[in-house]
Chain A
Amino acid sequence: MKQEYDVAVVGGGVVGCAIARELSRYRLSVVLLEKESDVARGTSGKNSGVVHTGFNVPKGSLKARLNVLGASMFEDMCTTLNVPFKRVGKLVVALTSAEAPDLEKLKGLGDANGVPSLEIIDSKEIKRIEPNISGYAAMHAPSAAITCPFRFTIALAESAVANGTDILLEANVKGISGKLGEFRINTTRGTVRSKLVVNSAGLYADHVARLAGVRRYKIYPCRGEYVIIDKARSDLIQRMIYPVPPKGGSGLGVHLTPTIDGNILIGPSAAYVRSKTSDGTTGAMARQLLKEARELLPGLSPRDVITAYAGLRPKTVSSAVGGFNDFTIEEVPELPGMMHMVGIESPGLTAAPAIALDIAKWAGTYLPLRSNSEFQPQRKAAVPFNELLPEQQAELVDADPDYGQIVCRCESITRKEILEAIHNPLGAQTIGAIKYRSRATMGRCQGGFCGPNIEKILEEEMGVRPTEMSLKGDGSWLFTGSTKDLRN
């Protein structure tokens, strides 16, 4: 690990990781600083995983440009980085004739933003393509897609590392001093110097800017809760099902999103919270989400719920104002050399690859962008065993017996995939890091059977003692020690 870099990126969400990976195409030394035990621990890991088309962002806005450009890059990036991507399409459903004019408005905006193939369909056509959904009319956006937001972020980070970027986990930035060409960043893992600084700290972008003396930003966390439905119900919908966007709301309305792994997400809600750590779920909202989802999909039952989670949107409008602001992506006159990305809420995931292009261009105004001839765009990953045909599975096991040992039974995740996750290039070694890379423990038993096996493999492979293990770093320990120690 060096201490002097060309660029320091603060924040390992999807935007920071996309930037680090984009910069690794050039002969620049880059460090990414992340305060948590892994990347994608904040908003980037807790959203709907939707690659938006851009039909509901204001024309001429930064959001519109970056969304449409990002969406056009996304599929290729997923292929290159070995991340799942599915163009499932989206229906925005008007439940009554009163909501129908809103669909026309959305379509007009989408057409103006250059979104391809939008069309309005009637109730009969809705029934034909989504038999379990009822509505008066809908706007169909066939190019809307889904991905796995945390695996996409992790893949970007791993690709960046493979191409020479340093990623420092559990490096919480405590202070930023100096100026263009000679920034000093104090972190809980030591001091880093860099010529340029990129502030992609998500919810904490205002805080990181303030550490550098830039006091103009304020982020209002807005919680979105989700409920996850068992894969057994995956046949209920084929596409994303959205309501007409609520007027003056802070989110896109409670929607149904098929996930890349075959679950259905219900959510997110939108509720401003006071603290940037208030990402717990509430019982009332889980019930409300299920109730609203059942208006769209009467076949859902509370028994189908596997679990719930919540994420926080980094909004730059307060609850009193409501609605949406455009993204803020700027270098401020009082501190040249530091780029701030503030309020990158939806469609931030979709826009991330496009934002990264802009940031590379900006870096090029200060530093020479010579291409890194060793840049390897492709990222290898363990083959997802559960998606293969039996004959292909047989071949894999013959070639590598670790594929023959199923560790996570609900998701059919093999020992091979767990091993790959444990030996990840970022060196993230929490149970959570293994979970987000391999999907193990994410099924209906939520780790009841495989949790102990994963813990055992982690101990055998990396020599991590049980008392050193954690769910997600920072005090999230799993064991007090041996049973006999309870007496002490």
Chain B
Amino acid sequence: MRTEEVDVAVIGGGPSGLAAAVAARKAGAGRVVLIERGEQLGGILNQCIHDGFGTKNMGKALTGPEYAQIYIDQASEAGVSCYLNTMVLNLTPGRELTVCSKEGVRRIRAKSVVLCMGCRERTRGAIGIPGYRPAGVFTAGVVQYYMNMRNLAVGRKVVVLGSGDVGLIMARRLTLEGAQVPCVAEILPYPSGLMRNVVQCLEDYGIPLYLSTTAVEIHGRNRITGVTLAKIGPRGGIVPGSKRLVECDTLMLSVGLIAENELAKKAGVALSPITGGPVVDDRFQTSVPGIFSAGNALQVHDLVDYVSLEAEKAGQSAAMHAQIGKLPQASIRVKPGQGIRYVVPQYISGTEAVDFSMRVAAPDLDRYVVFRSGGQTVRKMKENVLAPSSMIRFRVRAERLQNIGSELTVELEA
């Protein structure tokens, strides 16, 4: 079988893969290959025709394709080799990839690998909505693909289950195109998507958002004819008398995103049970030396801007690993404390500045995010509005991390 030797192999040609590959080349890596299973680069950005991308890292609001094109152009200028329609079938801990395309099945041996596979949508089956299995139950990303890429409408009366960002954006898009969106139902007592999307996509169009509400039955054997919604009480049970039938011809799900890590598992990379992505250090190196991870495969993001920034760092580290042959594994453990669901990276070296990203466990107001080590406060910042849907990012400078102990805790404080 044909075998190719490369310095850095980046798996996934979406926003994280593009940024990682460009950064790796800019950091001096020789041969950088970007492997994409679809027919074009840019990943999910290609179907995100709404704007709002780039406000944090480019100072302007771009559409998804515009944002992607910037990086596609950079990849081409930087001399990244792109393999399209190419699927990675296997990845070993020794960084040997088996890839498959119409041209054949071949091996790629890489000095460094960056995992940028993105995420997939949680499905009806995974959340277990009972009832029949008719046509007309779609995830929001699939509806978005059909509508924006294929000019196909999946239905005229669309109930949205879940208030994730893609669902909110599609509720607006469907309404603009003339479909009826009777409501959005969210099982949690607060929205799962960004507040700006709740306002701009639902409130501006008069679409009601029912919180603490979920679908308890799907009706219709052939095509969906309706869905029974019910209020969910504080202990997770159905509130008696709250069931009601909403007629529809489509149920669109926006009930969560799951990091795609089948390849990470094959390579023996340790995964976090909370993020679903690899456990990484401040260079985005996973538990397997020379394998790095960034973007939604590492942790599901709400803004692509931070995906790009994170992936650049991962790409630079991958280039460094390819050049030196070894990067020390960081040993200071970062632990989520009171009120914090997770923090990435999970390990830091203490020798350089770290951009921490984290999510809170529940909505809150006016809290301090406190970094502590061995009883000492390392850094403390105030956040006015905290929501699980909004990733919090903080930079902690190197000098503050230099003399800390073996553990760093991040928690919320009044």
Contact = CB atoms under 8 A, between A and B. Distances in A.
Interface in B15-42: 37
A308 B128 CA distance: 7
B134 A471 contact: yes
Contact of A390 (B98, B123, B145, B150): B98
A378 interface: no
A42 to B, nearest CB: 13
B102 A309 contact: no
A447 B101 CA distance: 21
A474 B221 CA distance: 10
Contact of B125 (A228, A412, A480): A228
Contacts of B100: 393, 397, 404, 406
A257 interface: no
Contacts of A122: none
Interface stretch (A47-55, A183-191, A281-289): A281-289
A476 B135 contact: yes
A472 interface: yes
Contacts of A482: 151-153
Contacts of B106: 394
B147 interface: yes
A286 B135 contact: no
A483 B177 contact: yes
Contact of B1 (A394, A449, A470): A394
A445 interface: yes
B130 interface: yes
Interface stretch (B65-73, B83-91, B291-299, B337-345): B83-91
A411 to B, nearest CB: 11
A409 interface: yes
B384 interface: no
Given A280-B130, A390-B98, A409-B37, A307 B125 contact: yes
Contact of B37 (A279, A406, A445): A406
Contacts of A479: 146, 152-154
B295 to A, nearest CB: 17
Given A305-B128, A466-B152, A479-B154, A280 B120 contact: no
Interface residues of B, number: 56
A374 B222 CA distance: 40
Interface residues of A, number: 58
Contacts of B136: 478
A433 to B, nearest CB: 13
A192 to B, nearest CB: 25
A399 to B, nearest CB: 10
Contact of A280 (B103, B131, B151, B155): B131
Contact of A404 (B102, B123, B124): B102
A402 B101 CA distance: 9
Interface of B: 1, 37, 85, 87, 89-90, 98, 100-107, 120-121, 123-126, 128-136, 139, 141-142, 145-147, 149-156, 177-179, 216-218, 221-223, 249, 262, 265
Given A449-B120, A452-B145, A474-B222, 8 more contacts: A282-B130, A307-B123, A397-B102, A397-B103, A404-B101, A448-B139, A484-B177, A486-B156
8 contacts: A283-B129, A286-B130, A305-B128, A307-B123, A394-B105, A397-B103, A452-B146, A483-B152
Interface of A: 228, 232, 277, 279-286, 302, 305-309, 390-391, 393-394, 397-398, 401-402, 404-406, 409-410, 412, 444-449, 451-452, 456, 466, 470-472, 474-487
